[in-house]
Amino acid sequence: MNYKKIQMPREVHIGSDVINETGKICQDLKIDGNLLVVTGKNTLKIGAKIAIESLEELNYSVDLVQITEASQNAIKKVEDKSSDVSLILGVGGGKIIDVAKMAAKNKDTYFMSVPTAASHDGIASPLASIKDAKGSVSLTAQSPIGVIADTNIIRNAPFRLLASGCADIVSNYTAIKDWQLAQRLQNEGYSESAAALSLMTAKLIIKSSNSIKEGLEESARLVVKSLFSSGMAISIAGSSRPASGSEHKFSHALDRIAKKPALHGEQCGIGAIMMMNLHGGDWKFIRNALKDMKAPTNAYELEIDPDDIIEALISAHKIRPERYTILGDRGLSRDAAKKLAVKTGVI
Ligand SMILES: NC(=O)C1=CN([C@@H]2O[C@H](COP(=O)(O)OP(=O)(O)OC[C@H]3O[C@@H](n4cnc5c(N)ncnc54)[C@H](O)[C@@H]3O)[C@@H](O)[C@H]2O)C=CC1
Ligand SMILES: O=C(CO)COP(=O)(O)O
Ligand SMILES: [Zn+2]
């Protein structure tokens, strides 16, 4: 029998100042024993300290570890402090959440996702994108037992992070086109329901883009719910296929090439403009959607050297080569890459 396991969060808590309920949420989930909070320098005071206070008020013993990148070393650092913990909480951006998620999986303990920004769709997904020598791609981790998304913290984060989360969702358009192409050319397994959820989430966020405003709690709530849905599409598919195709290959390649990469979602959005053109689709629709969301649509806005855009386009196909996309096995030639980036206004 070929069984399929679909893992999803048990509870999702979204609301203003909900982070103050972290202790109560853990108690209601019958979690006891020692806990570990993983965070970063910025997000310690933004969210982790409040979560820790809430836990200690209910007599939880809480340890803390700070990390700076989503790498195996960072995972090891967390694991070294997780010997007898019953829950690891990741309080921060995507990198913090991925490291906490992976460490919890490796230590066979629960993971709680506490996003402090709505900047990516990994807040509820069962995968973790961890940097390695070949460039980061997502590994199988585990779904959070719960998500605590404080919309007051999220709405006060730099708007750029919210726009980046929206762009990460818009990039689902080309991820689905690549998945459909792989199904036609390679007979790759394809989930209609995961694809439909991924695409519907992208369509909805584009439809609402004019109401996504800086500092608005309802905007934060809307984007968090969309990021959650995109993560559920990943859960249903059992892989990042519904949300990661050639545009993500481009972004992961750029992470390796650029001196100072931009935000993940920003890079994926620009990748989607160019990959939609390669698919012969309506790339101007993608570009205009990103403009409406105030997400970057070119190298200048990304603050990335145009030469790095070309280099990333030329090497993108080498990222996760087993995942077939419009880039094919040989990728773009230098001339074709330049032509594509110029034609779509990216450089
Ligand atoms: N596991 C999955 O399914 C997915 C994982 N990812 C991964 O997530 C990462 C991207 O996540 P990002 O959050 O874009 O990057 P990030 O984790 O580097 O965070 C971006 C910056 O925002 C700051 N920040 C976070 N919350 C803040 C707040 N409230 N106020 C001010 N600053 C705040 C962080 O300190 C950091 O400096 C990538 O590594 C990507 O591969 C992305 C999508 C899906
Ligand atoms: O970023 C992701 C989905 O938005 C995860 O994608 P990867 O599998 O390419 O890391
Ligand atoms: Zn992404």
Amino acid at 261: P
- Tokens standing for residue 328: 């094919």
Q: Which fold has domain 11-155?
A: Rossmann fold (3.40.50)
Cα 168 to ligand 3 centroid, rounded to whole Å: 5
Superfamily of domain 160-343 in the CATH hierarchy: Dehydroquinate synthase-like - alpha domain (1.20.1090.10)
Cα–Cα distances (Å) from 8 to 47, 127, 148, 231, 267, in that order, read 24, 11, 14, 9, 27
Laid out side by side, the sheet with 146-150 consists of 11-15, 146-150, 110-115, 85-92, 34-39, 61-66
Cα 28 to ligand 3 centroid, rounded to whole Å: 32
Cα 319 to ligand 3 centroid, rounded to whole Å: 14
The closest ligand to the CA of 119 turns out to be: 1
Ligand 1 pocket test, pick from 134, 263, 264, 319 with the greatest ligand atom count within 8 Å of Cβ, gives 264
Q: For the chain, 347 residues long, give each residue's pLDDT as a single digit of tens.
A: 788 899 999 999 999 999 999 999 999 999 999 999 999 999 999 999 999 999 999 999 999 999 999 999 999 999 999 999 999 999 999 999 999 999 999 999 999 999 999 999 999 999 999 987 666 788 999 999 999 999 999 999 999 999 999 999 999 999 999 999 999 999 999 999 999 999 999 999 999 999 999 999 999 999 999 999 999 999 999 999 999 999 999 999 999 999 999 999 999 999 999 999 999 999 999 999 999 999 999 999 999 999 999 999 999 999 999 999 999 999 999 999 999 999 999 99
Ligand 2 pocket test, pick from 120, 130, 227, 240 with the greatest ligand atom count within 8 Å of Cβ, gives 240
- Rounded CA separation 31/52 (Å): 15
The closest ligand to the CA of 137 turns out to be: 2
Q: Tokens 């459909």 appear where?
A: 180
Q: Is the CB of 143 under 6 A from ligand 1?
A: no
Are 11-155 and 160-343 equal in CATH topology? no
Where are the chain's structural domains? 11-155, 160-343
Which three-class secondary structure state does DSSP give residue 315? helix
Which residue, by CA, sits nearest to atom 36 of ligand 1? 93
Ligand 1 atom with the smallest distance to the CA of 41 is 35
Of 176, 167, 181, the C-alpha closest to 241 is 176
Its pTM surpasses 0.90: yes
Of 136, 197, 135, the C-alpha closest to 172 is 197
